[in-house]
Amino acid sequence: MSLDNQPELDYAQQVSLAHRKKFAQFFTPYPIAELMASWLLKNGNLHTVLEPAFGLGVFSRALLSKNARLQIKGFEIDKRVFEMAKKEFNGQENVRLLLNDYLYNDWQNQYDGIICNPPYFKFHDYDNKNALKEIESNLKCKLNGFTNLYTLFLLKSIQQLKPGGRCAYIVPSEFLNSDYGKFVKAHLLKTGTLRHVIVIDFEENIFDDALTTASIILCVNDNKADKVQFTSIRSIDELATVEKLISSDPNTNNHTKQYSVSELNPDIKWKAYYQPQNGCKYKNLVPFSTYAKVVRGIATGANDYFTFNLSKARQFAIDERYLLPCVCKAIDVQGHFFTSSDFVKLKQAGKNIFLLNAQDVNDRYVTKYIRKGESEQIDKKHLTANRTPWYALENRPPSPIWVSVFNRTGLRFVRNEANISNLTTFHCIYPRNQLFLDVPTDLLFAYLLTDTARRIFEDNSREYGNGLQKFEPNDLNKGQILDLSTLPHHSHDKILELYHQYAQDADKRLIDEIDAVFKAEYTS
């Protein structure tokens, strides 16, 4: 029985990446499996163990190396990896493997220990409707429709712990800072089982080629937990420190990132509990929604069909009167200002810069193109099937400011001087009528260009692997911003002067000067 990741490495060489992604197979490094196994082994009455997503049994290998008498049950849905796992554990009569979906089976049983790296599927990549129904009917709860599959596994496993039983899960950190994770966090607190949240942010992805950070969730069903420990680690070498930490009870150690259950708010992003917050360095903060509303860009449901360049428009004889000017890719926008001349350059370069805008149109070529879409069943796709008519565009007027959705170097804001639309590659920012606050759009945009703005927004980001950040519209709406209405007039005028200079020559030093003015006025 292998006590390293050789079985996983052998398997990865034998099957395609496409097959592994189909079953969401991202294997756990053996040192982390050992750490998680050690949490279960601290249960002095550990006899029965469940592995809900068995894979090649890395957790069971780690457990059996310390206690060969454990009775282990494993569930797996991929027949190929199931057969390889049976060979790996050949002769281990105390390991029982089942080719079944854990989510829909075994509700009646409880275990002394449950350990798992569950499949990571987003809500649209699995049978979301039936999976949610299964969990909701058994747990008597109502879940967010965008809930990822891995959290459903976790919720079920918490339900299946015996008194004194321990649970160890390694999952993406996403649920700690997402809207759908609110119920999951609330349930963990309500059950009183959560003890440790270990956030892993290694230089390399913990789930090999999966683009995600990871968290280890450690729980125990003993009705004693009134404190939760948060720990962040950035290298495999720090696992030894974590091992010492989880050996002590969170109720007795004095680590600084320790909170009573009553202090933890499931409705906020939990990164506030394990990561330094930038906003605390500044005074007079208000929600960004005070000054603007952020909504996502236009979602067509079938970009290949709806987007046009000049060549495609000529091919199908679609007049530009029936095409909506639109930025379709973030890479097509360079710098912080997008002008009409920039749009013309994209147009001449053959970029996709139009959307079919065919509602209430009787043009025969447009009608022919609509019929083409129906013959290709474009009208049956998820988004188009819920629109009337199916080819109608979302009502999303051009916004004065765009902001990037994904980034690695901080949010990128763009002034939409061309006044054109955008797809979901950007979010739309619509400044509110600020006449009563005397905050013009130029001042707001000048602030958004600063490092101060980006750092404060980072407090509300969603983090993935390799430094990738994502912001949903409400992450920005609820994010903090300096209260620009309190800015003294002399600083107000100075910033606008510097901003107008920057708009002319794009000298980055001018943004640094703007940032210095804001810091002088708002640093605590």
Tell me: the pLDDT tens digits for 455-485? Answer: 999 888 877 655 677 889 999 999 999 999 9
* pLDDT band at 203; cut points 50, 70, 90: low
pLDDT for 222 beyond 50: yes
Residue 307 Ramachandran class (φ > 0 left, ψ -120 to 50 alpha, else beta): beta
Q: What is the mean pLDDT of the chain?
A: 90
171 near 118, Cβ under 8 Å? yes
pLDDT score recorded for residue 121: 75
Q: Identify which of 126, 174, 132 has the alpha carbon closest to the alpha carbon of residue 21.
A: 126
The 3-state secondary structure of 212-224 reads CCEEEEEEECCCC
307 near 300, Cβ under 8 Å? yes
Is-cis flag, bond preceding 163, omega within 30?
Answer: no
pLDDT score recorded for residue 211: 46
Beta-strand (E) ranges in 223-330? 227-233, 258-260, 285-287, 292-296, 307-308, 323-327
The residue assigned the tokens 């270990």 is: 198
pLDDT score recorded for residue 218: 96
12 near 20, Cβ under 8 Å? yes
What does R_g of the chain's alpha carbons equal in angstroms?
27
CATH of domain 6-274: 3.40.50.150
Full strand arrangement of the beta sheet holding 406-407: 406-407, 469-470, 462-463
pLDDT for 349 beyond 50: yes
Grouping H, G, I as helix, E, B as strand and the rest as coil, residue 410 is: coil
Q: Identify which of 277, 205, 287, 344 has the alpha carbon closest to the alpha carbon of residue 477.
A: 287
Grouping H, G, I as helix, E, B as strand and the rest as coil, residue 423 is: strand
Mean pLDDT of 196-213: 66
Encoding tokens for residue 347? 């147009």
* pLDDT band at 254; cut points 50, 70, 90: low
pLDDT score recorded for residue 393: 93
pLDDT per residue as tens digits for the range 355-377: 999 977 789 999 999 999 999 99
pLDDT for 273 beyond 70: yes
* pLDDT band at 280; cut points 50, 70, 90: confident
Mean pLDDT of 22-36: 89
The distance of Cα 108 from the centroid of its chain, to the nearest Å, equals: 32
* pLDDT band at 21; cut points 50, 70, 90: confident
Q: Identify which of 516, 435, 446 has the alpha carbon closest to the alpha carbon of residue 481.
A: 446
pLDDT score recorded for residue 353: 97
Residue 359 one-letter amino acid: Q
Mean pLDDT of 315-335: 95
Q: Identify which of 353, 484, 299, 330 has the alpha carbon closest to the alpha carbon of residue 405.
A: 330
Poorest-pLDDT segment among 215-224, 352-361, 430-439, 467-476: 430-439
Higher pLDDT, 520 or 200: 520
Mean pLDDT of 59-67: 96
pLDDT score recorded for residue 20: 82
Q: Could you report how far apart the first and last alpha carbons of the chain are, in Å? A: 58
Q: Identify which of 358, 282, 352 has the alpha carbon closest to the alpha carbon of residue 310.
A: 352
355 near 450, Cβ under 8 Å? no
Task: Please state, in angstroms and rounded to a whole number, the distance separating the CA atoms of residues 510 and 356.
Answer: 40
pLDDT score recorded for residue 186: 94
Mean pLDDT of 334-352: 96
Q: Identify which of 338, 341, 353 has the alpha carbon closest to the alpha carbon of residue 416.
A: 338
What size, in residues, is the chain?
524
Q: How far lies 314's CA from each of 111, 310, 311, 318, in Å?
A: 66, 6, 5, 6
Q: Identify which of 442, 511, 512, 439 has the alpha carbon closest to the alpha carbon of residue 482.
A: 439
Q: For residue 24, what is the DSSP state?
A: T
pLDDT score recorded for residue 252: 56
Q: Residue 107: in which H helix or E strand, if any?
A: none
Rounded to 10 deg, the angle between the 441-448 and 489-505 helix axes is 70
* pLDDT band at 177; cut points 50, 70, 90: confident
139 near 188, Cβ under 8 Å? no
Q: Identify which of 91, 180, 86 has the alpha carbon closest to the alpha carbon of residue 141.
A: 180
Domain parsing of the chain, residue ranges: 6-274
pLDDT for 191 beyond 70: yes
The distance of Cα 436 from the centroid of its chain, to the nearest Å, equals: 37
